[in-house]
């Protein structure tokens, strides 16, 4: 938090939005559409000392593909990319948080993380940057260039008349240039810039603060030949920038140009994203902040206390345990809400991702039953009244739609799963206020059965699996939370915490096997197309 406080005076003195006051575009694409975004005056160089931002949005649950070519006239003596810099933000953050920074010339391809992305440039264009310069004053006189552009349906960059086709064919026949290779071989970028680095970078551009960027290394795109022409630019794309035509670029340092081909499309699979922990702990430990984007807590409106967990699987649906909703205060959707993007329940300072959603439906399995504390068909779906908004920190878990190679349902004995929740840290003990996680071992069904019977208990019900790891376990108020298996880097909700004898005892815990209820989940949410194909 101290980083934000340190930079707050700088941002108030010259907020990031002021950089793009004269050239700030909101662009909306429809599914399958393509659009060329060109820098001002393209193919001439944009004016030295200007800045532009383009926030691009695709339809919900789609992503954006960017293919960009940059020719930034970065000075050879500019080791910190002061003169010309290009930003790409895959998460649609308009204040450059976690952006990638580019300078020099080259090509690159990038995809948005979700359905929004932002590209922008900032130009100083001088070997010795001026002190405290208002960049908007360096723009040519005119009206503010803040616009919202929606791509017209049916308009594609491939559409052109026959005369243009012939002209382009002639040009291509006379050209000996090789085909475009939009690969990363010529690309060097400064990746994963954190919040403090991104804001400090902007502050240093504005205030000539060399110290704020000492931790960053300057990396350039390799030089490439300039191959664009005004003819192909105008006929093959809708130009977002609406600057008047400019004469040929004047000689001297600074300036640059770029062109980005952007396309909106439906991704094959979008679920289960998460932060990967660096070190696996042998004991229960606090989860990393936003390590589990599907994690949700279920609470009553009356008391506001999390009493069970849930796992997001869709914009409107969550998985939980049916036994969580048997009491008079928890049996009605109207009395409940869920919290997502949360970490510390005791903190009055919520995370930026924390949101609360009311429920409009509580769907328990029709064959759910509970005798002597041993539930059967212990699964429920929670439906939110409004759509849950995805972000890097909030998103759906994948479902185990595919069986293992031998036809068995996940998880298999010998696998490890990870549980997370705000449950108690011991049986009858206090409830944790910070999200904890535990890595648990899936044990053989026969071993689980024998252990429970020999201890005077009953065998596990059908469609369940057991976990047992000495010293580690789920506990009270963890019920309903998912047990995740990481498959190809994605979080797959393979289980739901159901019941056990105490916490971290010598007996295994029993969990609902989600793979056994895929048909039921689909039947109760027929409007949803869950992530297809093998993850």
Asked if residue 84 lies in contact with residue 73, where contact means CB atoms within 8 angstroms, the answer is: yes
Tokens at 108, concatenated: 């690159």
> Residue 87 and residue 181: Cα distance in Å, rounded?
21
Asked if residue 23 lies in contact with residue 123, where contact means CB atoms within 8 angstroms, the answer is: no
Q: Bridge partners of 34?
A: 263
> Strand, helix or coil at 108?
strand
Q: Report the candidate in 216, 263, 262 with the shortest Cα–Cα distance to residue 119.
A: 262
Question: What is the SS3 assignment for 286-349?
Answer: ECCCCCCCCEEEEEECCCCCEEEEEEECCCCEEEECHHHHCCCCCCCHHHEEEEECCCECCCCC
Omega into 411 within 30° of 0, i.e. cis?
A: yes
Asked if residue 310 lies in contact with residue 298, where contact means CB atoms within 8 angstroms, the answer is: yes
Asked if residue 270 lies in contact with residue 531, where contact means CB atoms within 8 angstroms, the answer is: yes
Count of CB atoms within 10 A of residue 463's CB? 16
Q: Report the candidate in 508, 481, 487, 476 with the shortest Cα–Cα distance to residue 416.
A: 487
Residues annotated catalytic, as ranges: 323, 378, 479
Give the pairing of strands 306-312 and 256-265. Answer: unpaired
Asked if residue 91 lies in contact with residue 114, where contact means CB atoms within 8 angstroms, the answer is: yes
């Amino acid at each position: 938090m101290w980083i934000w406080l340190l930079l707050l005076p700088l941002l108030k003195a010259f907020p990031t939005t002021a950089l793009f006051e004269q050239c700030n575009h909101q662009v909306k694409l429809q599914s399958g559409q393509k659009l060329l975004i060109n820098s001002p005056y393209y193919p001439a160089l944009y004016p030295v000392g200007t800045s532009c931002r383009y926030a691009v949005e695709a339809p919900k649950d789609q992503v954006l593909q960017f293919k960009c070519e940059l020719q930034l006239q970065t000075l050879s003596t500019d080791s910190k990319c002061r003169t010309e810099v290009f930003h790409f933000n895959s998460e649609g953050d308009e204040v450059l948080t976690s952006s990638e920074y580019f300078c020099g010339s080259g090509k690159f391809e990038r995809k948005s993380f979700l359905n929004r992305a932002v590209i922008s440039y900032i130009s100083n264009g001088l070997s010795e940057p001026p002190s405290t310069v208002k960049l908007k004053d360096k723009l040519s006189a005119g009206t503010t260039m803040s616009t919202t552009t929606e791509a017209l349906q049916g308009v594609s960059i491939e559409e052109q008349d026959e005369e243009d086709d012939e002209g382009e064919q002639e040009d291509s026949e006379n050209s000996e240039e090789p085909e475009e290779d939009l690969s990363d071989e010529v690309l060097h970028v400064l990746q994963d810039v954190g919040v403090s680095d991104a804001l400090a970078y902007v502050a240093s551009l504005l205030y000539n603060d060399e110290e704020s960027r000492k931790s960053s290394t300057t990396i350039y795109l390799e030089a490439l030949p300039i191959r664009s022409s005004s003819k192909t630019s105008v006929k093959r794309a809708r130009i977002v920038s609406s600057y008047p035509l400019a004469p040929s670029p004047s000689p001297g340092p600074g300036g640059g140009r770029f062109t980005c081909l952007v396309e909106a499309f439906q991704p094959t699979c979008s679920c289960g994203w998460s932060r990967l922990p660096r070190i696996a702990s042998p004991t229960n430990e606090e989860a990393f902040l936003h390590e589990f984007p599907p994690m949700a807590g279920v609470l009553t409106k009356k008391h506001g206390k999390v009493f069970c967990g849930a796992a997001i699987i869709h914009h409107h649906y969550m998985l939980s345990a049916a036994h969580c909703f048997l009491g008079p205060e928890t049996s009605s959707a109207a009395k409940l809400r869920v919290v997502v993007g949360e970490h510390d329940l005791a903190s009055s300072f919520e995370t930026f991702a924390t949101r609360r959603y009311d429920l409009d439906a509580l769907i328990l399995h029709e064959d759910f039953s509970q005798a002597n504390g041993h539930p059967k068909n212990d699964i429920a779906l929670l439906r939110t009244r409004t759509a849950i908004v995805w972000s890097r920190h909030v998103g759906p878990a994948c479902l185990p739609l595919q069986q293992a190679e031998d036809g068995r349902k996940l998880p298999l004995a010998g696998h490890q799963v990870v549980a997370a929740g705000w449950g108690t840290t011991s049986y009858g003990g206090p409830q944790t206020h910070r999200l904890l996680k535990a890595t648990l071992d899936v044990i053989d069904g026969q071993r689980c059965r024998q252990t429970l019977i020999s201890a005077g208990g009953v065998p596990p019900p059908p469609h369940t699996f057991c976990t047992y790891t000495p010293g580690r376990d789920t506990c009270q108020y963890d019920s309903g939370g998912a047990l995740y298996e990481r498959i190809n880097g994605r979080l797959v909700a393979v289980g739901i915490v159901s019941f056990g004898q105490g916490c971290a005892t010598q007996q295994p815990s029993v969990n609902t096997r989600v793979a056994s209820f895929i048909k039921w989940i689909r039947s109760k949410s027929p409007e949803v197309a869950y992530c297809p194909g093998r993850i």
